[in-house]
Amino acid sequence: MELDFSKNIQLKSLFPQTEFEEKVISFLEDWHSDSTTVSVQTSGSTGVPKVFEIEKERMQSSAKMTCDYLGLKEGDSALVCLPVEYISGKMMIVRSVVRNLKLSIESPSAKPIANLDHEIDFCAMSPLQVENSLDQIHFIKKIIIGGAQVSESLKQKIDKVLRSTSNKTTIYETYGMSETLSHIALKQLYPIPEEHFTLFEGVEISLDERGCLNIKAPKLNPEILQTNDLVELKNNRQFKFLGRFDNVINSAGLKIFPEQLEDFMKQKLSNEIVFLGLNDETYGQKLVAVIESEETDELKSQLSPILSELAETFTKNHLPKQIFYLEKIPRLPNGKINRKELLHLF
């Protein structure tokens, strides 16, 4: 199904063919209702999942910020393939309504654009969806990736596949959360790999005493948002994400950012790997690694030189004291690693 928001759409005349199309139409009916708010469900990646009400006016402001930053204009094409229960899917629809885009509707899956054979101007996807769509992403001119941090291995795969095609694709990683109505900053991954996120206009940031990010975005949220995201400021418009404060591992007095170790390892290792801190009498927290794979001699042999390089790049104290192998690492519905459940398993 395609909805052309540059024209007057009569929702009652539409005949949805899939459950997802029904959900999209249901949201649009809600959007055009007299209510000034819509309900949004959080993913639960940083706390207990909850449902809260968001003012439509603030969602419109968020949509305008994204469309302006990306240069989207009336009549451009877009594709929604993210669940509309969450802010990510809802905002793709709102952006299309606000900027009068032509929106194609594709049910969320691991391979949402498998049948795409024509150019699309704009799409938002999760890292897992991009990973499984590398042979098709050249059809999309502008892609934003959100919901989870983009691994170094995925960045390398994107670069390799797109360098071999004559494309005009630009890909960004997003920074944001449900409370900021999707993202408030973007970082280009391709064709120019950027190190820092750049804020949208109308958003201000600062650091608290822990080094965690404070966000002031009055058009999106009336409150100043205190995050648990450790960042490094380049200036008042750009920042580098270091990791979650609540994920920091304190091992024998050394503060270890697991996300940094994971990024490093994923440049060399194709398997998913997660670093955790387990309670330990000697270290306080013992650094361990969990690899999504069976335990094999071949994988152990592959790991040995990578771990040596890890120790040289960081310190020997950043080496995991123990490595676990797990057939399937638990994930949240949006594809993020469920660190809480993983910790509970061990």
Angle at 156 between CA 195 and CA 255, to 5 degrees: 50
Q: Which domains does the chain carry?
A: 2-202 (3.40.50.12780), 249-345 (3.30.300.30)
Distance CA 287, CA 321 (A): 6
- Quick check: pTM over 0.85? no
Q: Are 276 and 288 in contact (CB under 8 A)?
A: yes
Does 53 score more than 90 pLDDT? no
Q: Are 5 and 103 in contact (CB under 8 A)?
A: yes
C-alpha neighbours within 13 Å on the C-beta side of residue 285: 20
pLDDT at position 19:
94
Q: Are 287 and 305 in contact (CB under 8 A)?
A: no
Q: Residue 57 contacts by C-beta under 8 Å, 6 or more apart in sequence?
A: 36
- Within the chain, what is the greatest distance between any pair of CA atoms? 67
Quote the mean pLDDT of the chain. Answer: 90
pLDDT in tens, 93-138: 999 999 999 999 999 998 999 988 899 999 999 988 999 999 999 9
pLDDT at position 307:
94
pLDDT at position 49:
62
Q: Residue 141 contacts by C-beta under 8 Å, 6 or more apart in sequence?
A: 119, 120, 121, 122, 168, 169, 170
pLDDT in tens, 159-211: 999 988 777 899 999 999 878 888 999 999 999 999 999 999 999 999 999 89
Average pLDDT estimate for 225-249 = 91
Does 336 score more than 80 pLDDT? no
